[in-house]
Chain A
Amino acid sequence: MPELHTIVCVKVVPKPEEVRVDPETWRLVREGARSEVNPPDMNAMEIALRLKDRHGGRVTILSMGPAFFEPDLRTSLAMGADHICLLSDAAFAGADTLATTYTLAQAARKLERFDLVICGEESSDGATGQVPSGLAEWLDLPQLTLVTEVTLDRDGATVRGRRGIPGGFEILEVPMPAVLSVRTACNEPRFMDYRIKPWSEEPARLTTWTAADMGCEPAFIGQKGSPTIVAGLRQAESRARRRERLEGSPKQAAELLLERLKPYL
């Protein structure tokens, strides 16, 4: 049986609390915002690394984004992955879900034979959880989304995932290769291993591919390949509330509260 090859899709995002909307231009101000690995992708990494601990094989980190993603990706690599593939090209800018999934799919095709592609549940700065299904569709592969536990039957070449659904759970099985997404916070991602940190910093650990390297159709990438446009941005405003303080002892405050809630109960 060939060794297990798992691709993990990792995105680097600005820390959400450090992003603002410029009230004049309505543009996102990312300047000064520090970046981090999209937290849900750490849960995806952990699932991939547990499979590697158990079955051996290798883990490739796949990411589409600018060169400044590199330091954060190398930190993920030092969790115990084997290689980084960074898709970086000015032509990728402005990609929505359709263009992003097309580009990631082109890369997966160019990477060597793989068994699994594992994504996080959603990226904090972008679309919401639509990349895994879209990627599976471009690759014409089965998908298992929002899984919390994954087991492999290497002989049968199938993967099973446990998935929470409203009021319970289901266990689904699909043939490999398959695309998975992992439920956020379903596991405790391991820390990077400081012993392999120097190794992870070596230039050879990272491959950069451009659109041309992957034979991307120009009409299908970046802004050009994106059906969606952002027509406007604004800062979310919270709805005005009464903000009345109820004073007194706990008993008095509780009485005041129930009086006020009467019409709503």
Chain B
Amino acid sequence: MTASAPALAPGYSIENENRTLWVYLEQRAGELEPVSLEILGKARELADQVGWPLVGLLCGSDVAHMAPQAGAAGADRVVVADDPLLRHFTVDAYAKVAYQAIAEARPSVFLAGATPNGRDLAGRLAVRLRTGLNADCTALSLDPATGLLTSEVTGFGGGVLALLEIPRCRPQMATVRPGVFPPAVLDKQRKADEIRLAVDLDPVTLWTRVVERQVGAQVDLTQAPILVCGGRGIDGDFASLRALAELFGGEVGATRPPVDQGFIERERQVGQTGVVCRPRVALALGISGAFHFVVGIEHAEIVVAVNNDPDAPIFDVADYGIVGDAAKVIPELVRLLRAEREAVHA
């Protein structure tokens, strides 16, 4: 590899920024990703506090029909980049288009979801724009006087919080962890202006070839109202958990050990390296309560723990605790819920 040294071209800075907030609108199969609606909700709140316009950037092929939803979720303007070459997300094509839009508009803030594709895109853009990127943020605030964005990130497995700022370089970039902000409340009366971006992509300059892509019915734990989580202590009995989750109208989640042991799919892992959820109720069954797991259910309204060890740390972060054998408590819950359901249908 014989690349020459990089040009140290500066991006733009606090001196020539435009005081606007931009949000990357991630979409899949014709719908906006939940995380994009979560960011729009938060960004609307910030935009109102500082009085700046909120702009959504929507890239893809045949995606313009999603712009009104972004408007209802709070965007004042939606910049639409529509091109057949953007049909599948590839970081090379999306980064080119997003860079072009950002370099032209010079927004003060650019936010994206900390999803696999959002991170790929933001990571490349930050270097191309020679700016900072606060990754996987769990809280955001914007100072009305200075226009400085403060992002909170967790480090060291979740035990430490850091507050990060980007004083001079622009845009102030951050990726936001899915599940931490509540989704925007949709207001159908709100309309966004749509702006078409002229896309100029040459297929020859694109690197990535999608050889195969299979997307089936997708579980999205971040949207589950009730989350029934099993740990090592349920001994692989996820069948009972599925029955329980079904009765509750919720989804099954897991800690890392049962996932590593192959008892359940990795996409159901909850926690630091899994999914962060905000259910109304999270049940932790046979789970010790390691920090790595607990960050995944921190935003639950109610946490329930069942563990046969009275000193398990999970009880310190639970609203209701049952000291006992999960294998005995789960069937009782299933029985009671079934009886209740039958009573309703009788």
Contact = CB atoms under 8 A, between A and B. Distances in A.
B157 A17 contact: yes
Contact of B298 (A141, A238, A243, A251): A238
B322 A246 contact: yes
B116 A242 contact: no
Nearest to A176: B1
Nearest to A245: B321
A197 B161 CA distance: 38
Interface size band for B: 35 or more
B304 A261 contact: yes
A145 B208 CA distance: 12
Interface class of chain A by DSSP? mixed
A265 B91 CA distance: 41
A128 B135 contact: yes
A19 interface: yes
A233 B132 contact: no
A169 B328 CA distance: 37
Interface stretch (A56-64, A71-79, A224-232): A224-232
Interface stretch (A44-52, A83-91, A97-105, A198-206): A97-105
Contacts of A136: 124
A220 B8 contact: yes
Contacts of B95: 137
B150 A97 contact: no
Nearest to B218: A167
Given A19-B160, A233-B162, A113 B2 contact: yes
A243 B316 contact: yes
Contact of B119 (A96, A98, A102, A133): A133
Given A113-B1, A145-B116, A168 B336 contact: no
A128 B329 contact: no
Given A160-B211, A168-B216, A109 B164 contact: no
Nearest to B294: A238
B256 to A, nearest CB: 8
Given A173-B211, A174-B207, A233-B161, A130 B325 contact: no
Interface centre among B116, B131, B154, B315 (most CB of A within 10 A): B116
Contact of B320 (A175, A238, A244): A244
Contacts of B157: 16-17, 124
Contacts of A133: 91, 119-124, 127
A255 interface: yes
A139 B3 contact: yes
Interface stretch (B53-61, B165-173, B193-201): B165-173
A32 interface: no
Contacts of A113: 1-2
Interface residues of A, number: 92
Contact of B333 (A108, A233, A254): A254
B260 A185 contact: yes
Given A16-B159, A160-B211, A101 B169 contact: no
Given A165-B116, A243-B316, A228 B160 contact: no
Interface string B282-322: 00000000000010001001111000000000011111111
Contacts of B249: 265
A158 to B, nearest CB: 8
B246 to A, nearest CB: 13
A164 B267 contact: yes
Contact of A231 (B165, B273, B304, B340): B165
Contacts of A126: 155
A241 B319 contact: yes
A178 B209 CA distance: 13
B190 interface: no
B319 A242 contact: yes
B320 A246 contact: yes
A82 B315 CA distance: 48
Given A138-B127, A250-B325, A172 B210 contact: yes
Q: Which 6 A-B pairs have the closest CB atoms?
A: A133-B123, A167-B218, A227-B132, A142-B207, A16-B157, A254-B332
16 contacts: A109-B3, A130-B133, A133-B91, A134-B124, A164-B267, A172-B208, A175-B207, A177-B1, A185-B260, A226-B132, A228-B165, A230-B164, A234-B160, A234-B161, A238-B317, A242-B319
